Amino acid sequence: MAPLPSKTIFPIIFLLFTIFSLSKAELDAHYYDQTCPQLEKIISETVLNASMHDPKVPARILRMFFHDCFIRGCDASILLDSTATNQAEKDGPPNISVRSFYVIDDAKAKLELACPRTVSCADIIAISARDVVAMSGGPYWNVLKGRKDGRVSKASDTINLPAPTFNVSQLIQSFAKRGLGVKDMVALSGGHTLGFSHCSSFEARLHNFSSLHDIDPSMNTEFALDLRKKCPRPNNNGDAGQFLDSTASVFDNDYYKQLLAGKGVFNSDQSLVGDYRTRWIVEAFARDQSSFFKEFATSMLKLGNVRGSENGEVRLNCRIVN
Q: Which residues are marked as active site? A: 67
User: What length does the chain have?
Assistant: 322
DSSP 216: -
* 8 Å CB contact between 127 and 64: no
- What is d(CA 288, CA 253) in angstroms, rounded to the nearest whole number? 8
Helix, strand, or coil (residue 15): helix
* 8 Å CB contact between 122 and 148: yes
The residues, ordered by sequence, that sit 6+ positions from 304 with a Cβ below 8 Å of its Cβ are 27, 65, 69, 74, 126, 143, 144
Q: How far is CA 245 from CA 19, 184, 248, 269, 281, in A?
A: 47, 20, 5, 11, 18
3-state secondary structure 183-197: HHHHHHHHHHHCCEE
Looking at the chain, which runs of residues are DSSP E strands?
196-198, 241-243
Amino acid at 135: M
Q: What is the largest CA-CA distance in the chain?
A: 82
* 8 Å CB contact between 281 and 294: no
